[in-house]
Amino acid sequence: MSQKDDRSIAFVSAYAAMFETLATAVTGRASRGPQGAVLAITGAAIAPLNAMISPSLEPSADEITALAAAGSPWDFPWSIHVRGVPSPMVAEAAARHGLTRFERQPLMIRHCDQGLPKEPVVDGLRIRAVPRDELDLYARTVAEGFEVPYEMLRVFADPSLATVDGMTFYLAELDGVPVGTGMTATSGDLTGIFNIATLPGHRRRGFASAVTLELVRSGFAAGAGTAYLYASEKGESVYRSVGFRTEEYLTVISAPS
């Protein structure tokens, strides 16, 4: 398949660019290989956020090896993100660095021709953009929502993120108390949706769906009505219920826990 016929290349490229922007803002450690793969080291203590991402349908094992060398020494857990099923050569390149765990993530799209979704209405729930002085609260809420230690996601508290063009962070609150989170990265006519998390004591009440729809609406307001996200396979049904459809899969290769 040529790049011209590759329907998902724009979404994967935007995803890689988001990582590049995030890493540039918080650590300055981001670079690109000659074939377009992105190396983005955010400094987070979690492998998916220190990533080597290839938007190509046929990623180059040589490029991955070269970028792995460029990222050395790896001070943080890291991962390789490729589309579909990794080739044997890519899997071997990853294994040479101890990355042998494979996790599949659905790429889900909600196209702009589906129209602006209705404003989500959940009793008492308020969804708002987070100002610079509340990024630490945001990071703590994200960590609680994903049930990981705060230090693993402290990167989202970095004040420099408040000045990144096109990147917005959201809190969902009940009576002023945070119960969920979201994040958008707008690029051209695309809205990337990230960090949809609900705190453990508030799940199964429609909050994740409400936040997702509100972020789609914010994309429309910014002129970026097509939304994409990478879901866990467990969360795929949630996003399908609000109009997203799975178009392909990403494989995240990391070291075993």
As for how many domains the chain has, the answer is 2
Domain extent at residue 90: 3-106
Which has the closest alpha carbon to 10: 18, 72, 90? 18
In a domain, 55, yes or no: yes
Which has the higher per-residue pLDDT, 244 or 3?
Answer: 244
Which pLDDT score is estimated for 3?
57
Helix (H, G, I), strand (E, B) or coil at 29: strand
Phi/psi at 34 (nearest 5 deg)? -65, -20
Contact between 210 and 125 (Cβ < 8 Å): yes
Q: Please check the confidence at residue 198 and state whether its pLDDT lies above 70.
A: yes
Contact between 8 and 248 (Cβ < 8 Å): yes
Which pLDDT score is estimated for 4?
67
Tell me the residue type at 59: P
pLDDT in tens, 162-175: 999 999 999 999 99
pLDDT in tens, 130-165: 999 999 999 999 999 999 999 999 999 999 999 999
DSSP code for 62? H
99 and 121 belong to one structural domain? no
Residue that is last in its domain, among 47, 80, 106: 106
Angle between helices 88-95 and 61-71 (to 10 degrees): 20
In a domain, 248, yes or no: no
> Among residues of the chain, what percentage have pLDDT more than 90?
91
32 and 124 belong to one structural domain? no
Residue that is last in its domain, among 50, 73, 106: 106
DSSP code for 10? H
Which pLDDT score is estimated for 70?
87
20 and 51 belong to one structural domain? yes
CATH of the domain at 188: 3.40.630.30
Residue that is last in its domain, among 55, 82, 106: 106
Torsion of the alpha carbons at 117, 212, 52 and 148, rounded to the nearest 10? 180
Q: Please check the confidence at residue 15 and state whether its pLDDT lies above 60.
A: yes
Cis upstream peptide for 73 (omega within 30°)? yes
Q: What is the mean pLDDT of the chain?
A: 95
pTM over 0.75: yes
Which pLDDT score is estimated for 64?
93
DSSP code for 162? G
Instruction: Please give, one letter per residue, the 3-state secondary structure of 106-150.
Output: EEEEECHHHCCCCCCCCCCEEEEECCHHHHHHHHHHHHHHHCCCH
